[in-house]
Amino acid sequence: MTILVTGGAGFIGANFIIDWLKQSNEQVINFDKLTYAGNPDNLSSLTNNPLYHFIKGDITDTAQIKELLRKHQPRAIINFAAESHVDRSIHNPEEFISTNIIGTFRLLESCRDYWDKLEINKKEQFRFIHISTDEVYGSLDKNAAAFTENSKYEPNSPYSASKASSDHLVRSYFHTYDFPAITTNCSNNYGPYQFPEKLIPLIIHNSINLKALPIYGDGLQVRDWLYVSDHCSAIRRVLKDGNPGEVYNIGGLNEKTNLEIVHTVCDILNYSKPSKDPIIKDYNSLISFVDDRAGHDRRYAINASKIENELNWKPKETFETGISKTVQWYLNNESWVNNITSGTYLNWIHKNYK
């Protein structure tokens, strides 16, 4: 049997495939456009694994997807493919509309057509898992209750609006066509292979290179952080036992301000890789408050009791264990980050951030 993963060369998709092949003998096809965020290096450990296949392609390309489905006959699709960075969506929203909305729509259409023609038992077993974000629910006040699956959709950035739109399409395919789709809405992930434009890898990379650590606004925005392999285990649980048409919120029970995150990372680095610079002895001294992100959401928090009660899933990592592993991974893989920062990413940073 085969599962098809879209966007598997990115951060979460790559972790999902690596973890999948540690616990299953089922073949995985990774279908990825290889945008700036898609890095085949993330999966170099699987080069000789006969169960792993990479196909370069775009989820907006209906003909290619239909051919892929016909040829490989997957029993499930896990859709990670997306433009995922809020700051980029503020500067250039077009790609977000194309991939996250039109791409999800075309993928749904092709998959529905494929599913519709499956024989009855395969049709019953088929699943389409759509990976989404807690950002679709908008921003929470300091003491407001965490997001549940019934929270109102109030997306505030072009990124979250495009993901919200894709979630609505997925929902409509279940309600209109009985298409067996499930949506997961997850909080902020961190861990190995995260592109160094996102907060945690950016702080690690800038610290060890003695560059400024940019904190947007007052740094008191709150996110709920989940170690990526816990997210991957939740998706496997949803694929196995989740009910079609359902939505599952996934979170780490780790609400932290951005400043807390940055101090924690700097403190771990002060211990694990002390600065040799004669002036900068403490990485925390690199913190630099910069202009706030436009429309910056103040707080996200996830109530994950549905997946915990109905599917018996809980995160394994605490923030302390997850962040230590993450910092260590980046210290052990400096060349992975340097390859990225010396190429396309740098050009983009120059263009957009002068």
As annotated, the active-site residues are 134-135, 159
Under rule CB under 6 A, residue 127 binds ligand TYD: no
248 binds ligand NAD (CB under 6 A): no
User: Nearest distance from residue 332's CB to ligand NAD, in Å?
Assistant: 20
Binding of residue 214 to ligand TYD (CB under 6 A) = yes
Helix intervals (H) in 246-293: 258-272
Strands (E), the chain: 2-6, 27-32, 52-56, 76-79, 127-133, 181-186, 188-190, 213-216, 222-227, 247-250, 255-257, 287-290
In the list ligand NAD, ligand TYD, none, the entry touching 80 (Cβ below 5 to 8 angstroms by class) is ligand NAD
State which residue has the least CB distance to ligand NAD: 10
Alpha-carbon distance of 108 to 103, in angstroms, equals 8
Q: How far is the CB of 284 from ligand TYD (least distance, A)?
A: 15
Quick one: which of 114, 195, 248, 330 contacts ligand NAD (CB under 6 A)?
195
How many CA atoms within 13 Å lie on the side-chain side of 222? 17
Binding mask 65-94 for ligand TYD (x = CB under 6 A): ---------------------x--------
If binding is defined by CB under 6 A, does position 221 make contact with ligand TYD? yes
Subset of 91-110 contacting ligand NAD (CB under 6 A): 99, 103
Residue of 3, 4, 5, 12 that binds ligand NAD (CB under 6 A): 12
**200 is a site residue for ligand NAD (CB under 6 A):** no
Cβ–Cβ < 8 Å for 82, 58: no
Cβ proximity to ligand NAD: between 35 and 221 the closer is: 35
Contact assessment for residue 257 and residue 222, using Cβ atoms and an 8 Å cutoff: yes
Task: Report the candidate in 15, 352, 337, 43 with the shortest Cα–Cα distance to residue 196.
Answer: 337
Closest to ligand TYD by CB, 112 vs 256, is 256
Q: Among residue numbers 248 through 277, which ones bind ligand TYD (CB under 6 A)?
A: 258
Residue type at position 82: A
Q: With CB under 6 A as the rule, give the number of residues binding ligand TYD.
A: 12
Of 27-35, 256-264, 287-295, 332-340: span binding ligand NAD (CB under 6 A): 27-35
Interaction of residue 3 with ligand TYD, rule CB under 6 A: no
Q: Are 170 and 245 in contact (CB under 8 A)?
A: no
Answer whether 182's CB lies under 8 Å from 246's CB.
yes
302 binds ligand NAD (CB under 6 A): no
- Three-state DSSP class for 236? helix
105 with 179: CB under 8 angstroms? no
Residue with tokens 């949803």: 238
Compute the distance between CA of residue 292 and CA of residue 284 in angstroms, rounded to an integer: 19
Residue 202 lies near ligand TYD (rule: CB under 6 A): yes
Q: Are strands 2-6 and 76-79 parallel, antiparallel or unpaired?
A: parallel
Q: In the bound complex, what is the minimum distance in angstroms from residue 236's beta carbon to ligand NAD?
A: 15
Give the whole-angstrom CA distance, residue 35 versus residue 42.
14
The binder of 186, among ligand NAD, ligand TYD, none, by C-beta within 5 to 8 A per type, is ligand NAD
Decide whether 58 or 135 has the Cβ nearer to ligand TYD.
135
Q: Does 180 bind ligand TYD (CB under 6 A)?
A: no
| Binds 199: which of ligand NAD, ligand TYD, none (CB < 5-8 Å by kind) | ligand TYD
Instruction: Give the residue carrying structure tokens 């260590």.
Output: 328
Residue 280's CB is within 10 A of a number of other CB atoms, namely: 13
Nearer to ligand TYD, 293 or 306 (CB): 293
Query: Total residues at the site for ligand NAD (CB under 6 A)?
Result: 31
Residue whose C-alpha is closest to residue 165's, from 99, 247, 231, 226: 99
What is the contact surface with ligand TYD in residues (CB under 6 A)?
86, 188, 198-199, 202, 214-216, 221, 223, 258, 293
